[in-house]
């Protein structure tokens, strides 16, 4: 029994919107957490600007811990935390919390690798000028790594789109949920095809946009 | 101006203790261009970084105008670093910023803005000859131009000291000459004390007043460039000198030496070179002089000669002739075994 796509269309639109909102909000918070975390991983490491072995080990351990939990398990495991933060454990808002927990450590790692690409000689030059660690972070590390940061955040965004498909488990909705509940569980091939096409379009758009911005901030 | 007392830098690497800098004492006068030469791994780069404490020495004192920088708290040290500009072998420019922004960068760190910054940056870009490149990015520049940006950036705060870390080692000979010219100009116009490390003896020859030779973390020889070039003592120093002087006496001449001949190396500098010293001594004391080998080159823009001269005549006359020459030039006997 196939659904009529014409009447089903509003549902697809709504799901698309949910996916975009979920990803956008989760991305925002994941960057807010992941960026400082990634910077901390770079500056506290051995021979870093603010070398701090114990702190580095703790942060490194936390990031690895969250990165090793499959998203579907994380989603359920942190339900109490989700309820504490957003007041409910179901719905789109409730899906955002585990998405942030999933994405922030990932972004931290990506930020870390972007910043490690910055020429240590330039950091040394800034130190020789008497720059404070904070000045080196926001005047040297971040601008010098900006292009690479944009590309890495693009990767993280696409990862989020993928993870958001599982948000249906907590009633988060979105395209992935639609694909699973209608396309997969009810064998609605049409729905499956349309949602997959839409996901492909979203991913392509995000990647193209990311490439474009990365190039634009890369000087000329 | 700069005094380094007993600088030691010890690293631990895989349970091995490496003494990168091992008890170095150096004193640099205001306005001098001081060179430190050594092969890679000699510790000169670490020593240079000890001056502005990018590398903190394990022990020792770094005195700038009598003030020991190693004793300063971090915030004070950062302020003191404004008095010390630094340029690098690989330039270390911010790739994401234009030439103008790179030169203005130290002022930006100081929180300076507006017309004052613009004036200073323009003045320095003019000085290094890059006024028309202000809007370009480092990747669009040649190596020599990048180093000029580095120099402008180092000078923008009007420092009293300029540290040069192999500043010409990544450049071709022609560009090297132009950068050295610029450094000379800096000393003249801005009265800055320059400390440079290099492994190229021609750099020392071109612009340094004094030089220290480093090996295995230690200074093995130190003196005026003239002294080092005219009578190097340590084998490593001799090797460095002969790398640019070609002052090794050819085998053919050495072979022909015996105890009956009187062969001397005569080295001279500047106005000494313009006087017919050898001729005068020869006619005055009735000996003959014969130049066997040698060359005259430039040391810091002045003529510098190193000649192998044979004196022919009576023992007494030769002794007298040598004595009179020694008043104005350096003379050393040449024997077969020691070149």
Which residue from B minimizes the CA distance to A125? B92
Nearest to A219 by CA among B149, B121, B98: B98
Residues of B in contact with A144 (CB under 8 A): 94-96
Could you tell me the pTM of the whole model? 0.85
Asked whether residue A19 is assigned to any structural domain, the reply reads yes
- Residue A2 pLDDT greater than 80, yes or no: no
Among partner residues A127, A144, A220, which is closest to B94 by beta-carbon distance? A144
Gap between the Cα atoms of B207 and B194, Å rounded: 10
| B52, B79, B96 ranked by CB distance to A219: nearest | B96
Give the CATH number for residue B230: 3.40.50.300
pLDDT at B152: 96
- Regarding whether B302 and B174 lie in a shared domain, the answer is no
The reply to whether residue B92 touches residue A119, judged by beta carbons under 8 angstroms, is yes
Lowest-pLDDT choice from B118-132, B205-219, B298-312: B298-312
Q: Beta B262-269 vs B288-299: how paired, if at all?
A: unpaired
Average pLDDT of chain A, as a whole number: 90
ipTM, interface predicted TM-score of the complex: 0.86
| Nearest-Cα residue of chain B relative to residue A141 | B94
Percent of chain A's residues with pLDDT above 70: 97
Shortest CA distance to B157 belongs to which of B91, B97, B93, B111? Answer: B111
> Which of B103-107, B190-194, B243-247, B306-310 shows the lowest mean pLDDT across its residues?
B243-247
Structure token pair of residue A80: 């109490």
Angstrom distance (rounded) from CA A204 to CA A207? 5
Residue B317 is encoded by which pair of tokens? 């006359």
Domain match, B232 and B287 both: no
Q: Which domain holds residue B161?
A: 2-243
Among B243, B267, B298, the domain-final residue is B243
- Whether residues B154 and B267 fall in one domain: no
The CATH number covering residue A65 comes to 1.10.3720.10
Are B220 and B99 members of one domain?
yes
Residue A85 placed within a domain = yes
pLDDT > 70 fraction of chain B, expressed in percent and rounded = 96
Residue B339 lies in a domain: no
Residue B114 lies in a domain: yes
Long-range interactions of B169-174: CB distance < 8 A, separation 24+: B169/B89, B169/B198, B169/B199, B169/B200, B170/B89, B170/B90, B170/B91, B170/B143, B171/B143, B171/B144, B171/B147, B172/B143
Instruction: Indicate whether B237 and B313 sit together in one domain.
Output: no
- Are the CB atoms for B95 and A218 separated by under 8 Å? no
Q: How many CB atoms lie within 10 A of CB B46?
A: 22
Residues of A in contact with B46 (CB under 8 A): none
Residue where one domain finishes, among candidates B182, B211, B243 = B243
Using the predicted structure, report yes or no on whether residue A1 has a pLDDT greater than 60.
Answer: no
- Give the residue among B199, B164, B193 at the shortest CA–CA distance from B180: B164
* Same domain (yes/no): B194, B260: no
Judged by average pLDDT, the poorest of A108-112, B156-160, B241-245, B272-276 is B272-276
Instruction: Give the end of a domain, one of B190, B218, B243.
Output: B243
Distances (CA, A) of A154 to A200, A209, B1: 14, 8, 52
Q: With an 8 Å Cβ cutoff, are B96 and A130 in contact? A: no
> How do B193-198 and B33-37 pair as beta strands?
parallel
Dihedral angle of Cα B255, B257, B258, B259, to the nearest 10 degrees: -150
Q: Does B134 share its domain with B231? A: yes
Nearest CA in chain B to A47: B55
Residue A94 has pLDDT above 80, yes or no: yes
Residues B10 and B114 in one domain: yes
C-alpha angle B21-B27-B33 in degrees, rounded to nearest 5 = 100
Does residue B33 fall inside a structural domain? yes
Flag whether residue B202 sits within 8 Å of chain A, measured between CB atoms: no
Give the residue ranges of DSSP H helices in chain A: 5-43, 53-67, 71-77, 79-86, 92-116, 120-128, 133-135, 142-163, 175-178, 189-217
The answer to the question of residue A7 being in a domain is no
- Rounded CA gap, B339 and B334, in Å? 6
Q: What is the pLDDT of residue B283?
A: 87
Q: Specify if A5 maps to a domain.
A: no
Regarding whether B99 and B192 lie in a shared domain, the answer is: yes
Mean pLDDT of A119-127: 95
Nearest CB to B78 within list A125, A132, A144: A132
CA A123 – CA B288 distance, rounded (Å): 64
Residue A184, pLDDT above cutoff 80: no
- Do residue B169 and residue B198 come from a single domain? yes
- What domain count does chain B have? 2
Distance CA B131, CA B44 (A): 34
Same domain flag for B152 and B289? no
Which tens digits make up the pLDDT trace of B121-168? 999 999 999 999 999 999 999 999 999 999 999 999 999 999 999 999
State the total domains in chain A.
1
Residue B184 pLDDT: 92
Q: Is B81 on the interface with A (CB under 8 A)?
A: yes
Task: Give me the total of CB pairs closer than 8 Å, taking one residue from chain A and one from chain B.
Answer: 59
Give the pLDDT mean for B216-226. Answer: 92
d(CA B228, CA B213): 9
Same-domain pairing of B32 and B133: yes
Residue in A closest to B94 by C-alpha: A122
Indicate the residue of B86, B88, B96 with minimum beta-carbon distance to A144.
Answer: B96
Q: How far apart are CA A123 and CA B88, in angstroms?
A: 12
Q: What are the pLDDT digits (tens) for A155-182?
A: 999 999 989 888 777 777 888 888 888 8
Residues in chain B within 8 Å Cβ distance of A127:
54
Does any domain span residue B338? no
Write out the residue range of the structural domain in which residue A213 sits. 12-219
Q: What is the CATH number of the domain that holds B275?
A: 3.30.70.260
């Amino acid at each position: 029994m196939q659904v009529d796509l014409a009447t089903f269309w509003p549902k697809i639109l709504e799901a698309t919107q949910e996916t975009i909102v979920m990803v956008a909000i989760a991305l925002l918070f994941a960057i807010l957490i992941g960026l400082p975390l990634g910077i901390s991983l770079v500056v506290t490491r051995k021979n870093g600007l603010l070398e701090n072995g114990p702190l580095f080990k703790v942060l490194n351990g936390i990031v690895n811990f969250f990165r090793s939990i499959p998203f579907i398990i994380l989603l359920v495991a942190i339900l109490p935390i989700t309820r504490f933060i957003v007041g409910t454990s179901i719905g789109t808002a409730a899906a955002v919390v585990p998405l942030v927990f999933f994405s922030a450590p990932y972004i931290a790692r990506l930020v870390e690798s972007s910043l490690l690409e910055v020429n240590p000689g330039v950091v040394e030059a800034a130190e020789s000028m008497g720059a404070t660690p904070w000045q080196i972070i926001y005047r040297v590390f971040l601008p010098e790594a900006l292009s690479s940061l944009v590309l890495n955040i693009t990767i993280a965004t696409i990862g989020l789109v993928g993870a958001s498909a599982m948000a249906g488990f907590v009633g988060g909705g979105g395209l992935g949920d639609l694909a699973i509940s209608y396309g997969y569980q009810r064998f609605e091939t049409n729905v499956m095809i349309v949602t997959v096409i839409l996901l492909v379009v979203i991913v392509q758009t995000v990647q193209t946009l990311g490439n474009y911005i990365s190039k634009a901030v890369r000087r000329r | 101006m700069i005094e380094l007392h007993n600088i030691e830098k010890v690293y631990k690497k895989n349970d091995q203790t490496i003494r990168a800098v091992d008890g170095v004492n150096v004193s640099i006068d205001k306005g001098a261009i001081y060179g430190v030469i050594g092969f890679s791994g000699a510790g000169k780069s670490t020593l240079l970084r000890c001056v502005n404490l990018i590398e903190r020495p394990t022990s020792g004192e770094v005195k700038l105008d009598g003030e020991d920088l190693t004793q300063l708290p971090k915030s004070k040290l950062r302020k003191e670093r404004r008095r010390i500009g630094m340029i690098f072998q690989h330039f270390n420019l911010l790739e994401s910023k234009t030439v103008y922004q790179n030169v203005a960068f130290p002022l930006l760190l100081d929180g300076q803005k507006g017309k004052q910054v613009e004036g200073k940056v323009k003045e320095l870009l003019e000085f290094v000859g890059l006024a028309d490149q202000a809007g370009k990015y480092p990747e669009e520049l040649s190596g020599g131009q990048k180093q000029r940006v580095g120099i402008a950036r180092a000078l923008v705060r009007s420092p009293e000291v300029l540290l040069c870390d192999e500043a010409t080692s990544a450049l071709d000979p022609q560009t090297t000459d132009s950068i050295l010219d610029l450094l000379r100009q800096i000393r003249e116009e801005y009265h800055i004390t320059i400390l440079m490390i290099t492994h190229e003896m021609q750099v020392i020859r071109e612009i340094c007043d004094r030089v220290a030779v480093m090996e295995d973390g230690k200074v093995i020889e130190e003196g005026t460039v003239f002294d080092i070039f005219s009578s190097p003592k340590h084998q490593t120093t001799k090797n460095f000198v002969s790398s640019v002087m070609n002052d090794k006496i050819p085998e053919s001449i050495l072979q022909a030496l015996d105890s009956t001949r009187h062969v001397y190396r005569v080295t001279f500098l500047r106005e000494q070179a313009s006087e017919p010293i050898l001729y005068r001594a020869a006619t005055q004391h009735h000996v003959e002089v014969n130049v066997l080998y040698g060359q005259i080159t430039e040391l810091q823009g002045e003529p510098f000669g190193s000649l192998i001269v044979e004196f022919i005549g009576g023992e007494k006359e030769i002794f007298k002739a040598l004595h009179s020459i020694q008043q104005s030039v350096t003379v050393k006997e040449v024997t077969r075994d020691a070149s």
